[in-house]
Amino acid sequence: MGKGSGFGKVILLNEHFVVYGVPSIVSAIEQATVALVEPFDGRGWIIEDRRPATPGYKEEKLDQQRGSIERVLKAAKIDPSRNPIKIVLEGDLVASSGIGASAASCVAIARALSDEFGLDLSDERVNEIAYEGERAYHGTPSGIDNTAATYGGLIWFVRGTLNVIERIRIRKPVEIVMGNTGMVADTAAAVAGVRERRERYPEKYDKLFKAAEGLARDARRAVEDFDLRELGRLMDENHKLLQGIEVSCKELDFLVELARKHGALGAKLTGGGLGGNMVALTPGKELQERVAKAIEKEGFEVLRTRIGVKT
């Protein structure tokens, strides 16, 4: 039996902007998806998805998941008509929008295939294969999710002909809270909407994109200086920019404001938006718990996790 894993992720700055070459900061989180691959006495491939999930997520993403697995198998040069396989997905990462669930599964499957078939895939090759799988979910993904899922840690990511992937050093891991709206988001539709509006209102969007680039550079300095108050302030500013490109929603805005009200140093949507998750910067167990409980009290699911964990 082959086995592999992929990390969940949180984007601290510049989802959507990253598609257009604006720098972004992403961190793997502690939770991960695990894939198992074993020979199957049948034809082709089958999947058993045991991941914990937001209600409706797995059902809504089923067609995309099937397309993704086909792409991963093709990229890995595995022919299931010759080698029938069963794929099992499990782990402690909740399958939901905005947490890198699809990328984590693509990376986990690629590594499990490598283990089962002796492919000896490098992390770089795993990342490339996972990107191909991500295309079934997101159309033209930036590559940031699969990069975090593959390499872990805290990453400075710039999309380009050759993506810039740089490790960011942080003094110690920092507690965060991720609040789940419970809404399953369509990231491909959100990305397409931004593209359409950017073409329609180029002057407005150019200003927003230029501001996002400045925020990213300031945020990298804040992380490296371990200035968490400044990082939180920049996350707040980034949420305003994401509202400006119309990828937030009332549920995300409510959770962001709730987190700030209860002491979070900063809060913003994370991921594709229009549902999915938000993230609050809550250093220290006490603050993390206070913000988490406030969100849970309103009936939303919460993930208590950390950024900057060594992998």
Closest listed residue to residue 141, CA positions, set 110, 181, 102: 102
Q: Where are the alpha helices (DSSP H) in the chain?
A: 57-60, 62-75, 101-117, 123-138, 144-151, 187-200, 202-224, 228-244, 250-261, 285-297
Those residues whose C-beta lies under 8 Å from the C-beta of residue 217, and which sit 6 or more positions away, are 23
DSSP 283: -
Q: 101-117 vs 144-151: helix axis angle to the nearest 10?
A: 50
DSSP string covering 177-201: EEEE-SPPP-HHHHHHHHHHHHHHS
Active-site residue list: 145
Query: Could you give the CA distance from residue 16 to residue 253 in angstroms, rounded to a whole number?
Result: 17
Query: Could you give the CA distance from residue 210 to residue 143 in angstroms, rounded to a whole number?
Result: 21
Q: Work out the number of other CB atoms within 10 angstroms of the CB of residue 236.
A: 17
Beta-strand pair 2-13/301-307: unpaired
- Contact (Cβ atoms closer than 8 angstroms) between residue 85 and residue 37: yes
Tokens of 309: 């964990």
- Contact (Cβ atoms closer than 8 angstroms) between residue 241 and residue 214: no
Q: Work out the number of other CB atoms within 10 angstroms of the CB of residue 25.
A: 27
Query: Could you give the CA distance from residue 113 to residue 3 in angstroms, rounded to a whole number?
Result: 8
Query: Could you give the CA distance from residue 247 to residue 294 in angstroms, rounded to a whole number?
Result: 24
Cα atoms in the Cβ-side hemisphere of radius 13 Å centred on 182: 9
